[in-house]
A = this chain, B = another copy of it.
Amino acid sequence: MIWSDVLLEPIDPAAVLDRVGDPRDGAVVLFLGIVRNANEGRPVSGMEYDGYIEMAREQLAAIAGEAAERAGSDRVAVAHRLGALDIGEVSVAIAASTPHRAEAFDAARHVIEEIKKRLPVWKREHYLDREAAWLDGRLPAAAASR
């Protein structure tokens, strides 16, 4: 089962991991994106994720489907969180399982790279000095097929 969701609640990585796996599979890869305590040398106190949630859900489902197709496996699961996150909280969890390891690494990597390119989500860093700024992001390639 390919599974994806965009959530406002905390992500449970173990639950995402549990959505993949199959007796055919010899490899599982889990990727977690975490809010870290600094960006380009500036101390960060937290991160606020804004998103176009309905479209983000559709894009994330499409990305997961593409990753599954590349991997030849329907065992791909991904959750992305929105809202205000503290340092150390999980912003994204991606799991993939495949018979051989190369495909599982590739699937997880594909999902996070495509998220960075086209998921309609934005983040505002909050700094220790109480300022905040929307982070520079990537202009998604306009593509009617997506």
A64–B33 CA distance with the chains assembled, in angstroms: 22
From 108 to 134 in chain A, residues with beta carbon under 8 angstroms from any chain B beta carbon are: 108-109, 112
From 38 to 70 in chain A, residues with beta carbon under 8 angstroms from any chain B beta carbon are: 38
* Residue numbers in B under 8 Å from A35 (CB-CB): 26
Q: In the complex this chain forms, how many copies of it are found?
A: 2
A75–B37 CA distance with the chains assembled, in angstroms: 16
The answer, yes or no, to whether A99 is at the interface (CB within 8 Å) is yes
Residues B29 and A30 in contact, CB atoms below 8 Å apart:
yes
Given known contacts A99-B36, A101-B112, A105-B105, is B25 in contact with A28 (CB within 8 Å)?
no
Q: Which of B14, B34, B104 contacts A28 (CB 8 A)?
A: B34
